[in-house]
Amino acid sequence: MSAILLLSLLFISGLIAGLVDAIAGGGGLITIPVLLGIGLPPQLALGTNKLQSSFGSGSAMLTFVRSGTVTLRNCSEGIVCTALGAGFGSCTVQLLDPGVLRHIIPWLLLTIVLYTLLTPRLGREDIHPRMTKAWFYLLAGIALGFYDGFFGPGTGSFWVMALMLGLGFNMIKATGYTKVMNFTSNITSLGMFMIGGSVLWREGLIMGTGQFIGARLGSHLVVMRGSRFVRPVFITMVLLITIKLIWQNYH
């Protein structure tokens, strides 16, 4: 494959992944197979994926902040706790086998799909929070930050559901705040991969450019179209992630 064709493929895959990820998460379903498909070893693929996905989550976060959906001051505790969790998870994954999680996570994601389908009004509007903000971000930030640094697939889906159930956010608001946490864990994990020399900068920046553009488009769609648009895309992406993980586990 020529260099121009390769870089074009990376840009387009980043663009599509950024669009999808900003709406409902799951962009890694597109980017990681592409990076592995061009011959990168897993460690380089994961490190380069963190670089390019940081552009997407950062772009989406900026759009949600500018639209007023997200106020960064209101989630400062979550940013700190998520960064701590992601850093610990990124260090731990180099010492332990994440194989156990590969078998557990698909069934947790399937539970999210079933719960979302059985509660059709979930996320349509804000509800009374079930937890205080401080306790929620302490628990969810460290746990989901750790998970994203250690394994990763479905992190956005877990954040959206946690924010809706724990803090009573509607789905649009939950999606916006999820991008803040995704960006935090992506940047933290990227730092760990950079220390280990597991990042390809040219490929990652090309994909990141596509991610940035796609995420801007996707987050604008979320803000304009509302939860009736996000909900079916969210359910579809969680199902695709679940099917992919189950397939990997048994083949």
pLDDT per position as a tens digit, 2-39: 788 988 999 999 999 899 888 877 788 788 888 888 88
pLDDT at 123: 58
Place of tokens 């989406």: 60
Q: What is the mean pLDDT of the chain?
A: 86
Q: Which residue has the higher pLDDT, 100 or 199?
A: 199
Handedness of CA 84, 75, 52, 107 (dihedral sign): positive
Q: Which residue has the higher pLDDT, 123 or 61?
A: 61
pLDDT at 196: 81
Most confident listed range (57-61, 102-106, 110-114, 230-234) = 57-61
pTM of the predicted model as reported, rounded to 2 decimal places: 0.86
Task: Give the pLDDT mean for 227-240.
Answer: 78
Give the C-alpha distances (Å, rounded to integers) separating 136 from 39, 90, 185: 41, 22, 17
* Cα–Cα dist 248/144, whole Å: 22
What is the C-alpha end-to-end distance of the chain, expressed in Å? 28
pLDDT at 60: 94
Place of tokens 């731990």: 92
pLDDT band at 193 (very low <50, low <70, confident <90, very high): confident
Place of tokens 């990042």: 199
Task: Give the pLDDT mean for 84-113.
Answer: 75
pLDDT band at 214 (very low <50, low <70, confident <90, very high): very high
What is the 3-state secondary structure of the chain? CCHHHHHHHHHHHHHHHHHHHHHHCCCHHHHHHHHHHCCCCHHHHHHHHHHHHHHHHHHHHHHHHHHCCCCHHHHHHHHHHHHHHHHHHHHHCCCCCCHHHHHHHHHHHHHHHHHHHHCCCCCCCCCCCCCCHHHHHHHHHHHHHHHHHHCCCCHHHHHHHHHHHHCCCCHHHHHHHHHHHHHHHHHHHHHHHHHCCCCCHHHHHHHHHHHHHHHHHHHHHHHHHCHHHHHHHHHHHHHHHHHHHHHHHHC
Task: Give the pLDDT mean for 219-242.
Answer: 80
* Cα–Cα dist 189/196, whole Å: 11
Work out the percent of the chain whose per-residue pLDDT is above 70: 90
**For residue 24, how many other CB atoms are within 10 A of its CB?**
27
pLDDT at 177 > cutoff 90: yes
Handedness of CA 173, 241, 166, 101 (dihedral sign): negative
* Cα–Cα dist 205/214, whole Å: 14
Report angle CA 164, 14, 49 to the nearest 5 degrees.
Answer: 75
Task: Give the pLDDT mean for 203-220.
Answer: 94
Per residue in 102-156, pLDDT (tens digit) is 677 677 777 767 766 766 666 567 778 889 999 999 999 999 999 888 877 778 8
Q: Which residue has the higher pLDDT, 30 or 78?
A: 78
Handedness of CA 91, 92, 96, 97 (dihedral sign): negative
